Each structure stands twice: as structure tokens, then as C-alpha cells.
Chain A
């Protein structure tokens, strides 16, 4: 047998392997393609053989060829074969090839499901690992659905190597199969506290990625992340979390306030630039989210700017780049603080690195003032001349325009200068921003009346030299400026010195090479010029010259009549006929100039970009109401919902609708038409009915300004309807404006783009404020940026916008492969639980989409619809939740009824965390759910530390207020939480045990307030309270949180904290500090203020409690004097403080007890007069235990020390007697913990 294998491999060893292939390709540099094609033929032969080793070798070579750009999808089936080899070596080759070339369209992928499942459950962790890695690259919705449950199981694998991969791949699974997010989320959340840092980092990674796209759903995790942030030492994790907070703060400014301090501390303490940079970034985000007027944060801004300056000054280009990048974020909200670094930024403009110059340019925007604008622009113009590469030059160009035009040309003192700059910019070759320059020219010429004379002269020159610009006729090329030039010359032709010359320039044959939309403007404005010239000549009674002008037009226009561009053609032929007619009149010596000029009379005024939006809807106007019932033939059955609206709404509005004037009628018609146009089911109105709408407005159509490059009206084309609508809209506007003797601004050429803003509310009082509003050609497209536009409808993350706080419905389970599902459930039930959730999800997402559409159509209606849909959805959800549960136990139905309260409680939980200042109890809240209540009310009686330390008195008040309100909710919530906690833990188990929540009596009894903070020391100036907590990451570190409260009327500063180290416990001092040096407390305390600082201690042995002596020295500064003071204290490290709340599954717990490694001890407490759940809550809270399982008056609890000792308790109670049986692998630790437990209960 072995011989056979050897023989086989000897045959094989002369096969070409990957190295041979690579070598061959390198040796055939000239005819590489040919060589590769022979290789592919060989590979095809090899793939036909039965020997898996040969196949694997072939697939390996294909992977290489794939990298070189060869399509290898034809071998997909062979790749699957190699993947299913039992040998790791081959399997890995197969999975690698699959990960490189499989995608959703690969059809053999569905053959892999079972193979992958097999590999995932392989006893060899590397098989599993390879399968997970491969799957992460080619997971499809089907694979995700089928394998989600298997992967979820792997998340609790014993090997961290597998766990971290499983956690990471869940993100891909969520993307492809969003329904899995809710069922898997609790476990994912658990992994945030996994003992293995790699797994933890993977979980943070996934949640950050999820939260980045839909931050609001993850706000409730903020406390947990906050805790991680303050405890983690892994920079990767910290960076991710800090970035995540950057995304969360805009949603919750209170979070920002909470973050500032720890972030500032990190900025001060970290040596890692990457971490420092991200901290600065997030602080900036926080500052942006807070109102900028907060004086308290000016220090933070200064700190950020300072740090950034250090980065920018660094010789490392990367840091320089990032410094500038972050600086530009500050610029938006705090321009003043950046302006002081102008010198530095200008310096960066000369940097040899283009990326850095670009970033510096961004910053320049905020640097300009009236004084230095010209100077800075001059500098930039120099750069424009020097710049190589069009990208950078274009960037410069846009920046120049941005800088000049910002806040309504605020900094421009001389517009002639600006016009000349624009004209200079037209000399740039190959720019893509012709359009931008053009719109600036138009804008300035229209809005700055005084400049028109100058502008027209400049534009005339441009037109005269048009040949210089026409080299680049591509769209958005520099020739676009001719568009502006022609229009300005035409519109303001009265300022022209020699209109005749310009007219000639505009009718040169060369013009016909320009893009159509520019030619159209040429033709139109030639007509305007013609009018001016005529008037001039008639004024001078020079009829000869006038006739010559007409002749010129008649000679030149036919060129345009032949244009392929319909727009040009139509305008040219119109004007040609007009001119011919005029010529006739001229020959009869009739004076026509006045009438011709009248064609183009009137002034154009700029309209504010959001003018339409700001128009209030007149009272009594209901945009949804039908004026007439819709024509019956247009109502197909699909439209039923619409009919419902039509019938309903008149009821509400009829009374107000009685006095509708003609204008409103027209408007409503328009609205309806638009709706119909957007509705694919609507049969378009017949041409005859269009005419009816048309008729009243014809005379108001401003003939001159239409500039549509698309055919206006092609009968039968659906487009014509849209244009009609636009036209109507314009009529409406003009009707309204005529009242005010104002005429509308020129409409834009790209009609399609306007669809977005041709909203129904285009009405009466658009008040053009010339000084405030910017009109650019682009404007109509962006005039009404709706919020929904930001989200790409194809973004896969939209599907992941799922509320995670809602408790899981029973139906939300990952599909589990079962052989005979009917054994477990009745078929009907099965169908309900398996098929319903995806269906409803889809539905709801559809609904969402619909909603969005509606919103665009008109807001009002959509609001109502939304309400309805919400109701609808709720009903659906309720159905969903209750349906499958009916046949199950009553206990679960109870849960199903709970969700609404539970969710609101969850929200208020976060509220609480955010509103109350002290950090540690809040952080605890997450791990010890039951402690939430205690901390919530802690602010009131015994424990001062929980007094909010916010400096703003208002805030304190409001938070207190809230607290009272929330108190009740809290209690409810706590129970819910417990319930859920429990539920999650036993998710998937038989569910036989009684719920923790069964005791009905307890539900009515609120838990007493508790706090872990105890007084450290106190004198007349200051009070210190402290709490000690273990550090997850490090087994020899504990964190002591001390809240310093200033009790005096003076200012406390220069606080220095010092302890006498013992052999066992040492205060962690910064590097370079001596063993007896004190640590400076990183803040000062104004009177009445308290603040918290944390100190890290390293401990060696944790089995004994410890006491450390220490001193706090500080300076008391009052108005007259300042004195040195000191306060001695004793830090008591209890054994409890070395315990960390660690959740434990009951099966793992049972195993632990069975293992026999643990030594027992027990304790009896008499006269305990408190409900059992209070007792448990106290143990959980004060001693960092978690409840593993609870049955009636008996509970098992678990905790772990920072050094990994397991501590198990069995707590029983009967008649005021509590007996605690405890087990631990370290007897002395256990003894001490029990003593401490006893003390806790003797106090109460």
C-alpha cells in the first residue's frame, strides 16, 4: 500500500507544480499568454484525473493564474472537490481557491453547504479555521442562513482560535442574512467580555462595524463599551471603541460629556500615536456634537489643537497628514482656535507631498479674512500655475472658488478682482470644472449689480476669444464658461460697448462645434443681443445698420437650424422666423425695436436654495384631497389604498376646503399629476386633458429662458408629462411672483435633475433675498436635500437596521437543520416559526421603502401613512410574537407580553447611565444587571458619591428629576432584564427550570439602594470615597476609583496622591517616577465640585486582604490665601475587590463543581431579614458574583478572581437564616471572601 502511494507520488513529482508554473511564466516573458494557455490545458487534463493530490496541485496553480487576471470559474466544481478532501493540505488549497474566485453568482456554491458544515464541526481546529476563513470570503445569503446556527455554536468553542474566527465571521453572516442578527446578538455581546483578548477584540470589531452603520441601535451598549474603554489595554480594541464613540456621540450629546474626561486622560497618558490621534478625533466629534458655546470645553479644544499642532510639526509625513485632516474637522465648529495656526498651514501648502498640500488647502478655507483673501488667492494662483497633474490643479481651482464664494462672498471686497480671477482660471487647460467657473460667473453677474458692466466687458472678450477655450469640448470642460459668457452678454447686453461685435462673435461658424446646450444659449442670447442692437440703431435712426443686423442673423442662423441638437434647432428656427418677419417690417420702415426688446424684458432675481421649502402651506390647503374624484378608468385595482385616502381625507378637510381659489386648484392638480406621474400603475392622462391645464398659463411661459436640452414634448412619451408638470410649476411660481412684480430666475437646463425639488409646495411668497441667497446652476438639483438621499438604497447595511433591545420573540431562532422536524413540532407550528419571520422582515423593509417614497412625494401624507403603518406593523409584530407561543408554556407568553415596557426600560437605562455622573457603578450596571436599581437611587440617601458630579447645576437638577421619574421604571426594568438574562442563558436548553422571576411577591418589593463606594478619608476641605475593581485584562492589576469632593469654599489644586507601597501591592507610577513619588490628580476642584480619578495598583497575591497607608496633599486656594493641606488615609483592598463578575452557564458550573478541584467552606448567617432576591442582589453587587441558577429559595452563584480562581456559592435561605456553602480552589481566599460576606450582612 505504502509502496503504491510512493509510486503514485513519483509519477506526480514530475507534474508541474506552482513553482514550476511560476518559473515557466518567468522564462516565457515574450509569449506569456501562449505559455499560460498551454498550462491551462495541462491543468484541465490534471483536473480530469482521480488523484486528489493532482487536482489540488492543479487548483493551486489556478489560484495563481487567477491573480494574474485569468478567469478560472470554469474549475469551480473541481475546487469544491479539492475543498472536500480529507487532508488539511488539500482542503486549504481548495478553500483558498474558493475564497479567491467564488462569489454569489457561483452556482456550485450551494453544493458546499454540507461540506462546510462538516468542516466547521471537525475535531481538528485547523480544518474549522480554514473553513471559516474561506467562508468569510464567499458567504452567500443561502450559506449564511444554513450555517448561521453552526457558526453561532462555534462562538462558544473551547479554543479561542476558533472563537475569534467565528465571532468575526458573524458580521458577514449578518450582512447576508439579517434575520440572524437578533438571535445571535446576545451571544455576540457576551463575547465582548470573553477572557481571551483576541476574541474580545473580534467582538468589538464586529459590533463597531455594525454600529457604525446603524449607530442608534447600539446606543444602549455605550456603558459596556465605556467600561471596556476604561479597562482595556489593547490599542486595537481601544481605537475601535473610540472610533465607535465618535459615531455615537452625535446621537447622544450626553454621552459626549461623559467621554471627554477619560479621553482627555488617554490623550495625556498614551504613547501610541494612533491611539492619541483617534482620541483627538473623537474628542473633536464630541465637541461638534455639543453646542459650541460651552466654555468648559475650550480647554479640550485647546488641548486637541495643541496636540494636532505637534503632529503637524512632526517630520513624519503621515502624522502631518493626519494632523491636518483632524484639524479640518475642528475648523468646522471652532474656526477661531485653528486660525491661530495659520502660519503652520500656509507652510504646509508648500510641502512637496501632494496629499499634505490638499489637506492644507482644506484648512485654508477657514483662514481667510477680508484682509488676506486676495493675498492667499494670489498664492494659490501661483500654485495653480506651478501645479503638475490635473487632479491637484482642479482641486486648487475648486478651493479658490470655495474660499472666495464662502458665506455669500463675505470676504470679497472687490468683485472686479474676483471676475478677473475667474477669467484667469478659464485659461487652465484640461480642467473638469468649467461648469463651476461658469456658475460663479453667472452668480456674481446676477447678484452684484454694480459689477455687471465690468463682467459683461470681460465676457465679451471671452466670447471674442472663444477659440482659445473650445479645444476641450467635453462636458464640464472649460468651454462651459462660454455658456455663462453668452448668457451674461445677452442678458445684460445694455452694458455692452459694442454689441454688434459680440453678436458676430456669437454667430461664428465655429460655434457649431460646441456642445448643444451651449449652442442653445448662444442662439437665444444672440436674439437678445439682436434686440439691443436694433434698439441702438433705431435710436440713432440708422435703419441701414439695423437691416444689416437682421441680414446677419438670417445668414448665420440656418447653420443652427441644421443642428443635430433638437434644442438648438428649435430655438434657431423660431428665432430665424422671427427675424425674417422683423426684416419684413423693417423693409416697410416700421419701428420694431421696442417690441423685440419687450420679448426679453424683465429682471431675473436669485432665489434662495431652500426657498421652496420655507414657503408655509397656506391654511386650508390640503395637498392630498381630491378636487374631483379621479377619473374612473385610471383606477386600477392596484390602487386601492389610494382610493381609501381619497375617501377619508375629504372628511377632515371638507369644511376648510370650501374657499379654494383658482390658484390652489391648479396647485392641487399639479400635485395630483405628479403623484400620478410617479405611480407606474397610473394611466397617463390623455393629451386633451393636458391642454386644459396648459391653457391658463401659456402667456406666462417665459420663452427666453427655457433651456432644455431634451425635446420638450414628444407625444406619447412619458417624459412629456414631466415637462408639462415643470412647466405648470413655473407658471404657478410666476403667477405668484407677478403679484410682487418679480420675475423668476432662469430655469435650468437639465430638466430631469429638477424632479427632486419640483415639490408641491412651490408657492406664493418666495422672497428672494439677494444678499443672502446663492443661486448656482446646480441649485435646483440640491435645493431640497432630503435626508434619505444620504443612504444608498443598495447598502446592505440598511437591512441590519434592527432594534436589538427588543427581547427575542420565540419565532426568532436561527434555522436548525433537523432531520424530522415534525417530531418536535406540528407542521403548522413549524411553518409559522420558520417562514414567518423572514417574510415579515421583508415586508417591513418594503414598507420602509414605500415610506421613503411617500416622503419625497409629500410629507404630510406620509406622516399619516407612517402612523398607520406603524400601527399595522405593531399589530403584525404582536401577532408574530404571540402566535407561536400559544401552544407553549404560559411562562413564555408572559414574556411576550412584556416587550414594550422592556424596551422603554432599556432606553431609560441608558438615559440613567448618561445622566448620572459616577462612572464605576454605571459601568457595573451592565455586568450585574440587578445592580442597576441600587445605583439609581443611590444618589438620594446614604451614599454621596453617586451625587452627580456634573458641573452644570442645571444638568444636575434635571438629571435628579429624571431619576425620580425613572426610579419606578428602573425597578420594572431590572426585573425584565433579569428575566431576559436568564432567558438568554438558557436559550436553546430544555427550559425546564423555573425562571428566576417566579416569585410574585418579590416583584412588588423594590430593592434598597446600594453603593460600593466607601469613605476613604475626610476632613473639612475634602472628602474621598473609593471603590476597587479588578482588571479584566491583567491578572495582577486592580483599579481604585476615588471620587474627590471639595467640601470647602475654596479652590483645591495641585492634588497629589501617594501611598506607601507594600511588598504585595504597589501603586503604578508613570515610567521614570521613583517608588515614593506621588501621582498628580489630573484635575482641580472648584468649590462644591467632585470628580473622579483612577489609580492602578499591581498586586501579587490576592488571597489576603490588604491595607495601604497613603496621603493626599493639596493646596487650598481661597481669595486671600493659599495653604498646603494634607489628608491621610488607609486604602483597604478586600478580597472581594479582586473578584470580577463573570457570567457562567449552568452546565459549565456543574462541571466545575464535579471536577473536585475546589475546596469547600460554609457560613451561616442568622437573623437576615430581607427578601431572598435582595440578598442575592447584594451579593452580586457588593461581592461581584453572578447568579448561575436559582430555584425557589436556593441559588448558585459564581465569580472569578482576577487571577482565575473560581468561587462558587450555594445560597439557601429559610426563616431568616441564610446558609452559604462555598467552594473555591484557594481556601484562604474563600475564607476571606466569606468573612467579608458576613460583614456585609452584619451591617444591615
Chain B
């Protein structure tokens, strides 16, 4: 079982939090802080597994994370999950995001948290892995957005125009995570198709 999925940036700001067990908002923030604390002090080039998140579940659970440019993707899982499998899953997740957002960067995640949630929901459901096939996940995500567009229809057009205007001054922030540029060693990605 996956207990929680957290995405936060290099400063510990949460970008997405998904807990598959209920915690109060305060505890959730504490967990995010603790996890950030544990993960952020680790060097690059050390292993991606961590034991000892005290707040979620305790010793039985492991934190499995990957660091991409400015973002940490952390999965908290129990012993029934395969460590390397989850690492691959994170990779699949990020690649799917990359596909759906076309060169994903932190800003995409900041402004489209709901969309990230929807993509994640096609991959992990209630703490269990639903789908590991990237093309299947993105097909579903696309189908969702198609439905969304068709529903918005004529009424959606002006709103979209306005939001386009609002977004005009966005690019002042550099697009700072570019997953394509960062080569991450994936020992066995090819095996999960």
C-alpha cells in the first residue's frame, strides 16, 4: 500500500499532497515538514530509500523519493510495495506529467494542482497502484480533458480568453524543471511496459 504521495520543492513548499489515510491538516503539514527535513538533507547520488518517517506509520514504512530539478517526489509506502517498482512508478508519473503538460516545470504543478491530482488518480487509487502503463494513463487523462472542454463549450470560451490574458505575464518565472534535460538513472524502466 502507498500511504502518501507528496510533492514539494527544494524549499519544502508543498506542491501536491495526497494522503491515503486520514490525518488532520496540522498533522499533514507536520508530515510534509518532517519528510522534507529528512529528504532535503540527503546528498544527490545516495540511495532513494529512507527509513524512519516517524509520523506516517512508523518503522514499517519507507520513504521512496526522487529529486527532479526543483521538486521532490516522495512516496511513502509499506512493506508490500517493491522499492524499485515504486521508483519506476515515480518515473512513470513524472514522465506522464511531462507528456500531459508538455515539458513540465514546477509552475505547471503550482498552477494546475487539480490536473496533477487527476493524473495521479489514474495511476494510484486509494493507495493501490491502478495503472503503470504510461500511455494508458495519459489516454485517460486526455479523455478527461476532452470531456471538460466539450462541457465548457461556448460558455468556456470567454473564460479561457480571460485566463490567457491573465497568464500573459507568467513567463517571468523561468521554467525550471525540465525533465528531459536531467538524466536520471533508471535501472529497469524498460521492464515496466
Other-chain residue from A2, A198, A277, A318 in contact with B47 (beta carbon distance below 8 A) = A318
> Could you tell me if A18 and B156 are in contact, using CB atoms closer than 8 angstroms?
no
User: Known: A9-B155, A391-B52. Contact between A206 and B25, CB under 8 A?
Assistant: no
In the complex, what distance in Å separates the CA atom of A137 from the CA atom of B121? 11
Return chain B residues, CB-CB under 8 Å to A88: 144, 147-148, 151
Taking a contact as CB atoms closer than 8 A, the residue among A70, A165, A169, A236 that contacts B129 in the complex is A236
Contact of A60 among B87, B114, B126, B155 (CB under 8 A): B114
The one of A20, A67, A206, A358 that contacts B113, using a Cβ cutoff of 8 Å = A67
Is A317 interfacial (CB-CB < 8 Å)?
A: yes
Residues in A whose Cβ lies below 8 Å from that of B29: 69
For residue A274, which residues in chain B have a CB less than 8 angstroms away from its CB?
A: 82-85, 88, 187-188, 191
A355–B50 CB distance below 8 A: yes
Q: A132 contacts B158, CB within 8 Å?
A: no
Task: Tell me, yes or no, whether B94 is within 8 Å of chain A by CB.
Answer: no
Say whether A137 contacts B126, CB under 8 Å: yes
**In whole Å, how far is B107's beta carbon from the nearest beta carbon of chain A?**
10
Q: Which of A556-604 contact B (CB under 8 A)?
A: none
Q: How far is the CB of A88 from chain B (nearest CB, A)?
A: 5
A87 contacts chain B at the CB level, 8 A cutoff: yes
Q: Does B117 contact A (CB under 8 A)?
A: yes
Given contact pairs A212-B80, A235-B191, A93 touches B114 in the complex (Cβ within 8 A): yes
Which residues of B are found within 8 Å of A67, using beta-carbon distances? 14, 16-17, 113
Give the A-B pair count, Cβ closer than 8 A. 186
Task: Give CA–CA (A9, B161) in the complex, Å.
Answer: 12
Stretch touching chain A among B68-76, B162-170, B175-183: B162-170
Residue pair B47, A355 in contact (C-beta under 8 Å): yes
| Chain A 379-406 interface residues, beta-carbon cutoff 8 Å to B | 391
The answer to whether B1 has its CB under 8 Å from any CB of chain A is yes
A89 to B153, CA, bound (A): 12
Q: Determine whether the beta carbon of A161 is less than 8 Å from that of B151.
A: no
Contacts of B48 in A (CB 8 A): 317-318
Chain B neighbourhood of A23, CB < 8 A: 111, 166
Choice from B25, B113, B154 contacting A71 with Cβ under 8 Å: B25
- Point out the residues of chain A lying under 8 angstroms from B163, CB to CB: 13, 17, 19
Residues 115-143 of chain B, each 1 if its beta carbon lies under 8 Å from chain A, else 0: 00110010001111111110010001001
- Size of A's binding interface in residues, CB under 8 A: 81
Cβ of A272: which chain B residues have Cβ within 8 Å of it? 188, 191-192
B114 with A317: CB separation less than 8 A: no
User: Chain B interface: which of A37-45, A319-327, A817-825?
Assistant: A319-327
Alpha-carbon gap, A137 to B118, bound state (A): 14
- Neighbouring A residues of B192 by C-beta, 8 Å: 235-236, 272
Q: Which residue of B lies closest to A355 (CB)?
A: B47
With contact pairs A352-B46, A355-B51 given, residues A205 and B128 touching in the complex (Cβ less than 8 Å): yes
Of residues B48, B87, B128, which shows the largest number of chain A Cβ atoms within 10 Å of its Cβ? B128
A316 to B191, CA, bound (A): 17
Are A10 and B130 in touch, CB under 8 angstroms? Answer: no
Query: A67 to B24, alpha carbons, bound, how many Å?
Result: 11
**Residue B55 at the chain A interface, CB threshold 8 Å:** no
Chain A hits for B136, CB < 8 A: 198
Chain A min CB distance to B39 (Å): 12
**In the complex, how many angstroms separate the beta carbon of A647 from the nearest chain B beta carbon?**
47
Complex: chain B residue closest to A93, CB-CB? B114
- Give the docked Cα–Cα distance between A874 and B110 (Å): 59
B152: chain A residues within 8 A (beta carbon): 89
Which single residue of chain A is at the shortest CB-CB distance from B148?
Answer: A89
Q: Which of A17, A126, A236 has the most CB of B within 10 A?
A: A236
Shortest beta-carbon distance, A143 to chain B, in Å?
13
Interface residue from B50, B113, B127 paired with A64 (Cβ < 8 Å): B113
In the complex, the answer to whether B82 meets A277 with C-beta atoms within 8 Å is: yes
Q: Are B43 and A316 in contact (CB under 8 A)?
A: no
Task: Assess whether A695 is interfacial by the CB under 8 Å rule.
Answer: no
Q: Whole-angstrom distance between the alpha carbons of A93 and B148 in the complex?
A: 11
B34 within 8 A of A: no
Q: How far is the CA of A150 from the CA of B75 in the complex (A)?
A: 31
Q: Which A residues are CB-close (under 8 A) to B162?
A: 13-14
* Min CB gap A1147→B, angstroms: 29
How far, in angstroms, from A317 to B65 measured CA to CA in the complex?
A: 13
- Check: A6 CB closer than 8 A to any chain B CB: yes
The residues of B that contact A137 with a CB separation of less than 8 Å are 20, 126
Pair A239/B82 contact, Cβ less than 8 Å: yes
A228 interface hit (Cβ, 8 Å) = no
Task: Say yes or no: A6-B155 contact (C-beta < 8 A), given A69-B25, A355-B51.
Answer: yes
Nearest chain-B residue to A353 (Cβ)?
B46
- Determine the distance from Cα of A239 to Cα of B192 in the docked complex, in whole angstroms: 11
Q: In the complex, what's the smallest C-beta–C-beta distance from A595 to chain B, in angstroms?
A: 53
Q: How far is the CA of A317 from the CA of B185 in the complex (A)?
A: 11
With A64-B113, A92-B144 known to touch, is A5 a contact of B126 (CB < 8 Å)? Answer: no
Given A2-B154, A18-B111, A67-B14 in contact, is the A209-B1 Cβ separation under 8 Å? Answer: yes
Interface centre among A5, A9, A104, A239, by most chain B C-beta atoms within 10 angstroms, is: A9
Report the bound CA distance from A1 to B82 in whole Å: 56
A70 touches B126 (CB 8 A): no
A209 contacts B158, CB within 8 Å? no
A12 close to chain B: CB less than 8 A? yes
B98 adjacent to chain A (CB < 8 Å): no
Known: A67-B113, A236-B192. A317 touches B155 (CB 8 A): no
Cα A567 to Cα B83 with chains together (Å)? 50
Smallest CB gap from A276: residue in B: B188
- Contacts of B121 on A, CB cut-off 8 Å? 96, 133
A120 at the interface (CB under 8 A from B): no
Contact of B187 among A87, A104, A212, A318 (CB under 8 A): A318
With a cutoff of 8 Å between Cβ atoms, the chain A residues found around residue B20 in the complex are 137
Q: How far is the CA of A23 from the CA of B165 in the complex (A)?
A: 14
A95 to nearest B CB, angstroms? 9
- A1207 at interface by CB-CB < 8 Å: no
Chain A proximity mask over B27-38: 1 for CB below 8 Å, otherwise 0: 011000000000
Within 8 A of B (CB), among A13-55: 13-14, 17-20, 22-23, 26
For A275, give its contact among B17, B18, B191 (CB under 8 Å): B191
* A320-B52 Cα distance, complex, nearest whole Å: 19
B117 (CB) vs chain A CBs: closest residue? A96
Interface residues of B in 70-108 (CB under 8 A from A): 80, 82-85, 87-88
In the bound complex, what is the Cα–Cα distance between A1226 and B166 (angstroms)?
A: 61
Beta-carbon contacts under 8 Å, A223-270 to B: 235-236, 239, 243, 270
Residues of chain B within 8 A of A356, CB atoms compared: 46-47
> Closest chain B residue to A175 by CB distance?
B126
Asked if A96 contacts B166 (CB within 8 A), the reply is: no
Q: Contact check, A355 vs B46: say whether CB atoms are below 8 A apart.
A: yes
Q: Identify which of B42, B136, B155, B185 gathers the most chain A CB atoms within 10 Å of its CB.
A: B155
Q: Specify which of B24, B46, B125 is in contact with A136 (CB 8 Å cutoff).
A: B125
**A172–B22 Cα gap in the complex (Å)?**
13
Question: Taking CB as reference atom, which chain B residue is nearest A161?
Answer: B140
- Chain B residues with CB under 8 Å of A168's CB are 125-126, 128, 130
Across chains A and B, which 4 residue pairs bring their CB atoms closest together, nearest first?
A136-B126, A272-B191, A274-B84, A103-B22
Q: List 5 A-B contacts (CB under 8 A).
A: A129-B140, A235-B192, A317-B45, A318-B48, A320-B47
Using a CB–CB distance below 8 Å, which chain B residues touch chain A?
A: 1, 14, 16-18, 20, 22, 24-26, 28-29, 42-43, 45-52, 80, 82-85, 87-88, 110-111, 113-114, 117-118, 121, 125-133, 136, 140, 143-144, 147-148, 151-152, 154-156, 158-159, 162-163, 166-167, 185, 187-188, 190-192
Q: Hey, which bits of chain A sit against chain B, CB under 8 A?
A: 2, 5-6, 8-10, 12-14, 17-20, 22-23, 26, 60, 63-64, 66-71, 87-89, 92-93, 96, 100, 103-104, 126, 129, 132-133, 136-137, 161, 164-165, 168-169, 171-172, 198, 201-202, 205-206, 208-209, 212, 235-236, 239, 243, 270-275, 277-278, 316-322, 352-356, 358, 391
Contacts A17-B163, A19-B163, A103-B22 supplied; 14 other A-B pairs, CB < 8 Å: A19-B166, A64-B114, A67-B17, A67-B113, A69-B29, A70-B25, A88-B148, A132-B125, A164-B131, A169-B125, A198-B131, A275-B188, A277-B83, A318-B49
